[in-house]
Amino acid sequence: MDAIALLKADHKMVETLFRRFERAGRNARKMKRRLVDQIVRELAVHAAIEEQVFYPTVRSKGGKLEEMILLALEEHHVAKWTLKELEDLPPDAERFEAKVLVLMETIRNHIAEEEREIFPQVRKAFTPAELKAMAQTLIVAKRAAPTRPHPRAPDTPPGNLVAGTMSAVLDMGKDAVQALRRRRTPKAKTVQPQATSTAPGAESVLTH
């Protein structure tokens, strides 16, 4: 698996969660809350690894790719504020449903732009070996990524690497508290990420 395939797999998982939310009944509030919890987590991790690994590496090529990445970073920034608002918003809140629908529209547009415009240019700019090595770096980054949105934190290296480590530790505590709080709530079916493995000796193509 190369970097683009890995990121597309993340996109597919998020879209699956979106569709499950859309299919949930009007009164399935607890299920929708659990789905949103997973959406927040998946998007927070995905944004973090793109900002820590994929975007800086792609920006190193300069030119049109750098312009595309700057736009993508701004789209991340806007989405993270919505994710932050959704973190603890009760599912019976007046604007809960509307806020999730706006988030889905924003993310779907962002994904479409990445897959239609950025990814094809990246395939041209990097060799297959470089993309495979980048995938291994993304996998490593995913294991230590923050699980919640942090819109005020830096989104470019080196600041986001330092902030990301600290945020990930704090998020572990928050996740534990949230799990205890919602333990007795009926669980919505979750989407399991595709298994990935780290190839020994893979080198990072991350550049700062």
Provide the 8-state DSSP code for 157.
T
pLDDT of residue 26: 83
Burial 79-105 (b: 16+ CB within 10 A, else e): bbebbbebeeeebeeeebeebbeebbe
Would you say 64 and 57 are in contact if contact means Cβ atoms under 8 Å apart?
A: no
For the four alpha carbons of 57, 63, 69 and 70, in that order, the dihedral sign comes to positive
Q: For the whole prediction, is pTM greater than 0.85?
A: no
Q: pLDDT in tens for each of the 208 residues of the chain? A: 999 999 999 999 999 999 999 999 888 999 999 999 999 999 999 999 999 999 999 999 988 999 999 999 999 999 999 999 999 899 999 999 999 999 999 999 999 999 999 999 999 999 999 999 999 999 999 999 999 999 888 788 877 775 655 566 456 655 655 666 556 555 545 555 554 443 433 333 343 3
Q: What are phi and psi of 152, to 5 degrees?
A: -85, -10
**Domain 3-181, CATH class in plain words:** mainly alpha
Alpha-carbon distance of 89 to 14, in angstroms, equals 20
